[in-house]
Amino acid sequence: MSTEPPSTYRLASAVELTGPGIRLREWTDADLPALVDLFDEVETARWTPLASPFDAEAAREFLAKSRLARAEHRSIQLAVTVDGGAPCGVVMMFLGLDDRHDQAELAYAIGAAHRGRGLAAKSVRLMTDYAYQVVGVHAVGLRIPPNNAASIGVARTTGFVRTDAPTIVRDHRGSPLTLEMWLHRRLP
């Protein structure tokens, strides 16, 4: 049996992950109004590539792109909830990190009304475990701006370590956004 990771992964058509005080579930069309409430705010616009303003059209596009990426086995985007009900945010896993097929990249956004409750860290832990145990990757990365103290705190809390990889700069609404790489490696 080969120990080489597969070059492509097959993602389940439906995923639900549960941990203490958190449940990650699939998005539904009924979540469209909640998406607008969660993501049409200043901090989400500041740190994420989500549309701003984030209106009903942006919510529909978000769900459509999420479903297409899953169907193409490129990513999983789950609603962050406390009990499976109303969404509090999103956590995403993108397969392949810097063209490394044995790694995944995570991203997340928690709505303003739900911050400070540990939901980001719980989401990252659950999705990291899923990436290792079910998908079979060997490392998981987060790209974080060096001035995003909240996300750096989540990275540290969940066992990610800042790497010495060169920073990357992405266009963010017409301005440069510098991102540092934080990595979590699967324990043997």
**Does residue 158 belong to any structural domain of this protein?**
no
What's the pTM value of the predicted model, to 2 decimals? 0.88
Q: Would residue 170 count as lying in a domain?
A: no
Please indicate, yes or no, if residue 104 is contained in any of the structural domains: yes
Number of structural domains in the chain: 1
**CATH number of domain containing 102:** 3.40.630.30
Residue 96 scores a pLDDT above 90: no
Evaluate whether residue 87 is within a structural domain: yes
> Mean per-residue pLDDT for 40-48?
82
Identify the domain containing residue 27 by its residue range.
17-138
Residue 3 has pLDDT above 80, yes or no: no
DSSP the chain: ---SPPSS-PPPS---EEETTEEEE---GGGHHHHHHHHSSHHHHHHS-S-SS--HHHHHHHHHHHHHHHHTTSEEEEEEESSSSS--EEEEEEEEETTEEEEEEEEEEE-GGGTTSSHHHHHHHHHHHHIIIII--SEEEEEE-TT-HHHHHHHHHTT-EE--SPPEEEEETTEEEEEEEEEEE---
What is the tens place of the pLDDT at every residue in 145-158?
999 999 999 999 99
Asked if residue 113 is part of any domain, the answer here is: yes
Q: Which residues, at least 6 apart from 2, have a Cβ–Cβ distance to it below 8 Å?
A: none
| Residue 46 belongs to a domain | yes
Q: How confident is the model at residue 8 (pLDDT cuts 50, 70, 90)?
A: low
| Domain presence at residue 79 | yes
103 is a domain residue: yes
pLDDT tens figures, 15-43: 999 999 999 999 999 999 999 999 989 88
* pLDDT digit string, tens, across residues 62-91: 999 999 988 888 899 999 999 999 999 999
| Choice between 147 and 97, residue whose per-residue pLDDT is larger | 147
